[in-house]
Amino acid sequence: MTDSLAAQRSALEQGALALGLSPDAAQIDRLLAYGALILKWNKVYNLTALRDPAAVLTHHLLDSLAVVTPLTRERPGAGRLLDVGAGAGLPGVVIAILRPDIEVHCLDAVAKKMAFVQQVAGELKLPNLRGVHARVESHGGAYDVISSRAFATLADFIHGSAHLLAPGGAWMAMKGRQPDAEMAELPASVEVFHVEQLAVPGLDAERCIVWMRARQA
């Protein structure tokens, strides 16, 4: 192992620990391999704007890992999760690695990005991960959790995916600063039941999860 890879591994392990996670060696290996695949494919397909391994570690891997503990609290058992506007598979791929009991579908309208997610699923042997090339409005199915990461406004996110939320399900929207204006624009049929502040190791920026569900009549 090179010094650079050892440093990345140590930073990832320490970051995961700070987030209340205890990934095993195989999961750390998969996370590092996923980061390496993002950098490799970025050279040709421009999956994300980041080109630096350290930035991919903090802004992508650790930023996505930050939702795993909250997700496990809300959904401790097996289920189905749809990651809308997943791009390179963030946070969906990271969730699939850490929560093998959850069936994760990453959805994006850009075909090359979903081809990448399918490649990741094959190379990292993640049978619970699938890339779906489609627009959310035309997709079908029922999901216990629907997630997004800086995908759209909360109202647009809800409007596009409401037909996909299973009874008793929840929306998990990853945001930067608490989006009070967006929350005020939500339809009356949806309630915000928790806004969770996140502290991402190595990332000097505000992060939160807006948890939402269908309002009970």
C-alpha distances in Å from residue 151, one per residue of 52, 87, 109, 147, 186: 23, 9, 12, 9, 16
- Enumerate the β-bridge partners of residue 191: 213
pLDDT at 15 over 80: yes
Task: Provide the pLDDT confidence category of residue 49 given band limits of 50, 70 and 90.
Answer: low
Ramachandran category for residue 104: left, alpha or beta (phi over 0 → left; psi -120 to 50 → alpha):
beta
pLDDT at 36 over 90: yes
pLDDT given for residue 46 in this prediction: 72
Task: Provide the pLDDT confidence category of residue 4 given band limits of 50, 70 and 90.
Answer: confident
Question: What pLDDT digit, counting tens, does each position of 105-124 carry?
Answer: 999 999 999 999 999 999 99
Counting residues of the chain whose pLDDT is more than 90, the rounded percentage is 83
pLDDT given for residue 1 in this prediction: 62
**What gap in Å lies between CA 173 and CA 102, rounded to an integer?**
18
Collapsed DSSP state (helix, strand, coil) of residue 91: coil
What is the length of the chain? 217
Higher pLDDT, 119 or 151: 119
Q: What is the mean pLDDT of residues 174-197?
A: 97
Output the pTM of the full model. Answer: 0.95
Under 8 Å between Cβ of 108 and 85: yes
Q: What is the mean pLDDT of residues 173-189?
A: 96
pLDDT at 55 over 80: no
pLDDT given for residue 216 in this prediction: 83
Q: What is the mean pLDDT of residues 147-171?
A: 95
Task: Provide the pLDDT confidence category of residue 178 given band limits of 50, 70 and 90.
Answer: very high
Nearest to 21 by CA among 170, 146, 200, 193: 200
Q: What sections of the chain are H helices per DSSP?
A: 3-18, 25-45, 53-55, 63-65, 68-74, 92-98, 111-123, 154-161, 180-184
Task: Provide the pLDDT confidence category of residue 143 given band limits of 50, 70 and 90.
Answer: very high
Q: What is the mean pLDDT of residues 87-103?
A: 97
Counting residues of the chain whose pLDDT is more than 70, the rounded percentage is 98
Strands 102-108 and 129-133: parallel
Q: What is the DSSP letter of 176?
A: S
Q: Which of 17-26, 40-49, 61-70, 138-147 has the lowest mean pLDDT?
A: 40-49
Domains of the chain (ranges, CATH numbers): 62-214 (3.40.50.150)
Nearest to 55 by CA among 199, 167, 202, 186: 202
Q: What is the mean pLDDT of residues 58-63?
A: 91
